[in-house]
């Protein structure tokens, strides 16, 4: 699989493709879908971006270090608490293996700074549902295009006239003879 395009959309799309077929969710891996699943639709995974920040590398440049936060949420159902807990552990491990354990994906970024996860049981339904959220923070360089193109450089003026510095010793210096040359002084 190729490296992801370094943009929020490109990273999400790439993660969806990497996760499909590599977890208990099978092909039920979605880009930015957030709905309440029915137990029959589970397990399922949703990949979303949580937002990003830019830090300038230097004043006057349009090159920045971009930090993007992504959430990979696995939803599972279980027949009892033990089955649900095991399903949460399994899908969490599969997500981490497919993402943080993929050297090609990790190598696409300047850094994969954080990988955090949290689990939650959903007691708002009659079904036993659980969610695991894996939050990944990645860093990569972005060069923004200038909003106004700089004007073309028409010409450069360079002065080549010699001037004596005010405090320099510009007295006559003796010229030295070097082998093979004769210097007249």
- CATH classification at residue 127: 3.30.70.1700
Query: CB–CB of 34/50 below 8 Å?
Result: no
In a domain, 148, yes or no: no
Residue 118, in any domain of the structure = yes
Angle CA(41)–CA(50)–CA(139) in degrees, nearest 5? 120
Tokens linked to 4:
């992801």
Count of domains observed in the chain: 1
Domain that holds residue 67: 8-143
Q: Does residue 51 lie within any of the structural domains?
A: yes
Per-residue pLDDT averaged across 64-73, rounded? 92
**Tokens for 160?**
């080549």
Domain annotation covers residue 151: no
Q: Which residue is it, tokens 């510095």?
A: 165
- Is residue 183 domain-resident? no
Q: Is the pTM of this model over 0.75?
A: no
Confidence (pLDDT) at 6: 85
pLDDT recorded at residue 181:
57
- Is residue 65 situated within a structural domain? yes
What tokens were used for 105? Answer: 């994906």
Domain assignment of residue 152, yes or no: no
Does the pLDDT at position 111 exceed 60? yes
Residues of the chain above pLDDT 70, percent: 76
Mean pLDDT of the chain: 82
The β-bridge partners of 131 are: 75, 120
Decide which of 5 and 131 is more confident: 131
Which residue would you say has higher pLDDT here, 165 or 17?
A: 17
Q: State both tokens at 32.
A: 């930015």
Sheet containing 128-143: order of strands: 29-31, 44-56, 63-78, 128-143, 111-122
Which of 31-45, 105-119, 129-143 has the lowest average pLDDT? 31-45
pLDDT of 68 reads: 93
Evaluate if residue 100 carries a pLDDT over 90.
no
Residue 1 covered by a domain? no
Task: Based on DSSP, count helices (H) and strands (E) in the chain, helices before strands.
Answer: 3, 5
């Amino acid at each position: 699989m190729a490296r992801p395009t370094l943009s929020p959309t490109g990273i999400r799309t790439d993660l969806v493709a990497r996760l499909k077929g590599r977890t208990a969710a099978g092909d039920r891996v979605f880009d930015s879908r957030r709905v309440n699943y029915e137990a029959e639709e589970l397990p399922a995974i949703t990949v979303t971006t949580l937002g990003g920040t830019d830090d300038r590398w230097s004043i006057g440049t349009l090159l920045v270090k971009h930090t993007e936060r992504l959430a990979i949420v696995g939803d599972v159902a279980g027949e009892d608490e033990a089955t649900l807990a095991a399903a949460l552990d399994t899908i969490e491990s599969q997500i981490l293996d497919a993402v943080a354990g993929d050297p090609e994906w990790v190598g696409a970024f300047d850094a994969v700074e954080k990988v955090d996860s949290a689990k939650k049981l959903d007691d708002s339904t009659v079904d036993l549902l659980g969610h695991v959220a894996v939050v990944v923070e990645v860093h990569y360089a972005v060069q923004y295009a200038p909003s106004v193109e700089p004007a073309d450089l028409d010409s450069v003026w360079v002065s080549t006239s010699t001037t004596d510095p005010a405090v320099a010793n510009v007295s006559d210096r003796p010229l030295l003879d070097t082998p093979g040359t004769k210097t007249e002084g």
